[in-house]
Structures are given as C-alpha cells and as structure tokens.
C-alpha cells in the first residue's frame, strides 16, 4: 500500500518510494552590529602602538646562536619574523621592550619589566577586543591585566616616584582612576523600595526644615524677651544700689566669706604624680612587712639587723 506524504513520489521497483526535497531555511535573524560603544580609555595607554617590528630580524632565541651567523640566507629567512606567528612576534616585541628599560643584562624579573610586558600584551589585546566584540573571554583577561598593571604602577609610585615618572614617559602611560561601574537594572520591587525611601527622605527633610524655621522664630522671640528681662533686672539693681556680681567668688567676698572661695588644685607634673603613687605603694608594702615581723618576733627589727638566722627565732613570750 503506497504511503502518501508531502514529499514528491518517485517510481521504484514495485512500490512507490518517498523522496524528500529538504529546504533548509535560515531561521536566525541577521545579527546586528553592537550599538554599545566599547572603549578602554581607562587603561591609561596614551598610545595604541606596540612599536615598529622589523620582520627581517630572527625569532626570539635565534640571534644568540653561533650557527646563525654562518647560516645560509634562506635559513635566515625561514627563522625570521616573516615566517613567525602572532605569539612569536609578540614575544619578540616584549623582549625588545624589556631590553630598552632594564637596568642590567640580567634584569628580567623587576617591577619595570613586568609593567613593560603587561603594556605590550594590553595594547595587543585591546586591538583584538575592538575587532572581535563577542570574545568575552579575551575581554575578561584584558580587564584583569589592566587592573594588575595599575596595582603594580601604584606600588612603583609609592616606592620610587622618579623611576615611576621615567617609566610612564618611556612607555607612554598614565595612571588613571578606575571607571565607575554601570548601574544595574532595578527590578519592580527595588524600584518601589527606592521610591518609598525617596518619599520618606523628602518627608523627613520637609519636617526638619519646618522645625528649624519654627525654632529660629522662637529663638528670636526668646532673645528679645531675654534682653528685656536683663534690662529690667539691671534697672532694679541700680535703684537698690546693688552692684552687679558676675561670679560666685565675688558673691562670697561681698558677703564676707572669702575663706569659702574654692581654690583650684595645685598643678603638678606627671612625674610628681607618678612618684607620689609609687611612694604610696611602697608605704603600703612596708606596713605589711612590718606587721609580719611584729607577728613573728614581737617587736620591730631593723632591716639591717634582720639576718636569715634571725627569721628563725621563736616568738617572744612577751
């Protein structure tokens, strides 16, 4: 029994066989270019160039071989940068950059060398990330390396400011602050909570402003009342022939009780206070020792006459 379907029918041996005509439609919409601008200006690189590369130079490690000088021209061409990949070329640029700033021939692990190496890798990676916007892994490693170089630059600036200024001018760098993080998209609940906080803060500020305004008006009225009362008191004192007394000492002297005027305590230095405290502690210890000697011997024995054998004397019968 033949089976009919949406495909086309072809005549076979005895039965009809089904032949499918497959149509693969591109269901994915065309990818639109990214609209969000991508910038790495916060890295601090004033130049995006990693230097002019001489492609006739040999690869890294071949220039020190003695066989390279006597090699054939074709061999030299094969081991040159013309036949190198991107990684070998970057290594050569890093080596040239380190040779330019290192202090001595064996300087490969100093802070300046690490900064120079990071600078070459950062500038190379920035060009890659700007060209391939969807390479998120490379972008993450680039951001980590930028922050690591900033940390190393801060350490160098804290340790040697002159070398920091020289290195930044040689590598065309500047220490820029970190970019402010973008605000995350808030949910509906967070938006309601933020609106409630803002409304509460506005209400508190409005009530505080009203309270300050009312206190200012009450203070002005109180100052006027205070001036009027003081003027009335001064007038009453003048009518009674009483001089105005401003302090407690003047009051006691006027009443004939000048001996009761409190005197300030004498000022003593910190050394004198410390000596007095030590003398008091020593006196307490001496009293305790005298009490022990009195219980043991029945009388006070001078310290100069108190020998180890005298401590074993029996207690007096008196």
295-315: per-residue pLDDT in tens?
Answer: 887 766 665 555 554 444 444
User: Where does residue 39 fall: left (phi above 0), alpha (psi -120 to 50 degrees), or beta otherwise?
Assistant: beta
Looking at the structure, do residues 148 and 225 belong to the same domain, yes or no? Answer: no
Mean pLDDT of 115-132: 92
Looking at the structure, do residues 154 and 244 belong to the same domain, yes or no? Answer: no
- The answer to whether residue 13 is domain-embedded is no
pLDDT of residue 69: 81
The pLDDT tens digits of the residues spanning 48-77 come to 887 777 888 888 888 888 888 888 888 888
Closest CA to 53 of 33, 74, 82: 82
- The answer to whether residue 269 is domain-embedded is no
The larger pLDDT score, comparing residue 273 to residue 308, is at: 273
- The answer to whether residue 58 is domain-embedded is yes
pLDDT of residue 156: 93
- The answer to whether residue 6 is domain-embedded is no
Q: Which range marks the domain in which residue 219 is found? A: 205-248
pLDDT of residue 317: 46
The pLDDT tens digits of the residues spanning 149-177 come to 999 999 999 999 999 999 999 999 998 88
Q: Residue 8, exposed/middle/buried by CB under 10 A (0-12, 13-18, 19+)?
A: exposed
Looking at the structure, do residues 48 and 90 belong to the same domain, yes or no? Answer: yes
pTM of structure: 0.48
Total domains present in the chain = 2
Looking at the structure, do residues 67 and 119 belong to the same domain, yes or no? Answer: yes
Long-range contacts of 192-200 (CB under 8 A, 24+ apart): none
pLDDT of residue 9: 45
pLDDT at residue 86 above 80?
A: yes
pLDDT at residue 28 above 70?
A: no
Looking at the structure, do residues 147 and 239 belong to the same domain, yes or no? Answer: no
pLDDT of residue 26: 54
Indicate the residue among 215, 248, 281 that finishes a domain: 248
- The answer to whether residue 182 is domain-embedded is no
First to last CA, the chain: 143
Q: How many CB atoms lie within 10 A of CB 252?
A: 16
- The answer to whether residue 275 is domain-embedded is no
- Report how far residue 271's alpha carbon sits from residue 30's, in angstroms, rounded to the nearest whole number: 88
- For residues 154 and 76, the answer to whether their CB atoms sit within 8 Å is no
Looking at the structure, do residues 133 and 238 belong to the same domain, yes or no? Answer: no
């Amino acid at each position: 029994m033949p089976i009919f379907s949406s495909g086309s029918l072809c005549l076979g041996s005895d039965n009809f066989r089904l032949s499918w005509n497959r149509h693969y439609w591109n269901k994915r919409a065309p990818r639109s270019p990214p609209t969000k601008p991508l910038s790495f200006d916060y890295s601090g690189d004033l130049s995006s160039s990693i230097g002019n590369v001489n492609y006739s130079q040999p690869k890294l490690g071949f220039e020190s071989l003695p066989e390279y000088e006597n090699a054939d021209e074709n061999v030299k061409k094969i081991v040159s940068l013309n036949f190198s990949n991107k990684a070998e070329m970057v290594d050569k640029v890093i080596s040239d950059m380190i040779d330019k700033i290192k202090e001595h021939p064996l300087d490969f692990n100093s802070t300046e060398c690490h900064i120079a190496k990071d600078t070459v890798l950062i500038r190379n990676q920035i060009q890659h990330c700007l060209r391939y916007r969807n390479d998120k892994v490379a972008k993450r490693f680039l951001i980590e390396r930028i922050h690591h170089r900033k940390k190393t630059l801060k350490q160098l600036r804290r340790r040697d400011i002159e070398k920091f200024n020289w290195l930044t001018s040689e590598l065309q760098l500047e220490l820029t602050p970190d970019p402010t993080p973008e605000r995350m998209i808030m949910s509906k609940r967070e938006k309601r909570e933020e609106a409630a906080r803002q409304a509460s803060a506005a209400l508190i500020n409005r009530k505080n402003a009203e309270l300050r305004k009312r206190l200012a008006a009450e203070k002005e009225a109180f100052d006027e009342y205070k001036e009027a009362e003081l003027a009335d008191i001064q007038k009453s004192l003048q009518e009674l022939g009483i001089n105005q007394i401003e302090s407690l000492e003047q009051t006691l002297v006027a009443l004939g009780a000048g001996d009761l005027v409190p005197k300030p305590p004498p000022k003593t230095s910190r050394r004198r206070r410390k000596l007095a405290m030590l003398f008091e502690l020593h006196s307490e210890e001496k009293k305790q020792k005298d009490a022990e000697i009195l219980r043991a011997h029945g009388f006070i024995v001078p310290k100069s006459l108190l020998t180890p054998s005298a401590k074993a004397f029996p207690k007096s019968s008196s």
